[in-house]
Amino acid sequence: MKIDDIDAFVAVIRCQSISQAAETLQLTQPAITRRVQNFEDDLGANLLDRNTKPLKPTSLGMRVYEQCLNVQREMGALRELVLSDSAPTGTLRLGVPQTIGDVVLLDALSQLKTLYPELQAQVSTGWGSHLLGKIENGELDAVAALFPAGKVFPEGMVGRSLARMNLVVVAAKDEVRKRSYKLADCYQRGWVLNPDGCGFRAGLQRALSAEGLSLKVNLETFGTELQLGLIANGLGYGLVPMPLLENSSHRARLAVVPVSDFKPVIDLWLVHPRFLGNLQVPVSEFGEMVAQRVGA
């Protein structure tokens, strides 16, 4: 029984697809099929119901899958003992949300390349929950993302809060004329926000709904710096972490809207699998670079 066969079986169950498992493990589909069949032959059991779409395990296959996860965790611990003192090489697969990607990536990747010339960084962007799924599927080594304080991460992941930040409502400077506002004063003006899936937007929508108010979106686009530029041009209100506002090139044309009944906070988290081997130090340094660049 080979570890590679176990990894292939686990990937197929997680992805519910041989083609997606092949893409995740960077193998061909015939190679994945062969490894799963070898694993079934070694155990003398059918582990997949091949008549269903998406592909699902049999009841025995699910029990075997759960045991395979334990095997992978133990193998990770074993590799950790062997690799933790060796120089980082190979590929470091990182994830950041688009909210902060345009602010942090250029400097962070440049610093990593200087510190670890033998380490090649690859970056994925997306919503935080999507990036966590990539860690769970073994597609990423670490994610720096924004989640609520007290966030509970799936088993096998380690999450460390790097900083806590206030989320603030912002507008073009000449639009802020009062010392205090409420959400009811703001909602009709409309917002410049990320598309659906953004936690900031979801939190704002919940707060508005609690007041019986609707969310009016004037414009949705990715990237905090682009959003702040649009807000500075008078296209609506925005919702951003305070450190990103302070470091924005548009800061002089923007003002915080003092909303008394909406004061959300968010944590910057570094999340990674429990066992990283010789990638542990560069992952930790990446987290610190992100926190420093964000200004948190």
Provide DSSP, 60-89: HHHHHHHHHHHHHHHHHHHHHHHHTTSPP-
Query: Whole-prediction pTM value?
Result: 0.65
Provide DSSP, 8-67: HHHHHHHHTSHHHHHHHHT--HHHHHHHHHHHHHHHTS--EETTSSS-EE-HHHHHHHHH
Question: Tokens 């690859």 identify what position?
Answer: 122
Q: What crossing angle do the helices spanning 18-25 and 29-43 adopt, rounded to 10°?
A: 100
Residue 143 phi, psi dihedral angles, 5° rounding: -135, 135
DSSP conformation class of 170: E
Q: What is the pLDDT of residues 104-126, one digit of tens each?
A: 788 888 899 899 998 888 888 88
List the one residue out of 97, 95, 99 whose CA is nearest residue 245: 99
pLDDT on residue 55:
86
Average pLDDT, the chain: 88
Residue 177 pLDDT > 90, yes or no? Answer: no
Domains, the chain = 3-83 (1.10.10.10), 90-162+267-294 (3.40.190.10), 165-265 (3.40.190.10)
pLDDT on residue 85:
64
What average pLDDT does this structure show over 43-48? 92
What average pLDDT does this structure show over 156-164? 89
Residue 214 pLDDT > 70, yes or no? Answer: yes
Q: How far is CA 9 from CA 4, 36, 39, 62, 289, in A?
A: 9, 5, 8, 11, 36
Residue 186 pLDDT > 70, yes or no? Answer: yes
Confirm if 32 and 21 have CB atoms less than 8 A apart. yes
Q: What is the pLDDT of residues 265-285, one digit of tens each?
A: 889 899 999 878 788 889 999
Task: Give the separation between CA 40 and CA 189, rounded to whole angstroms.
Answer: 61
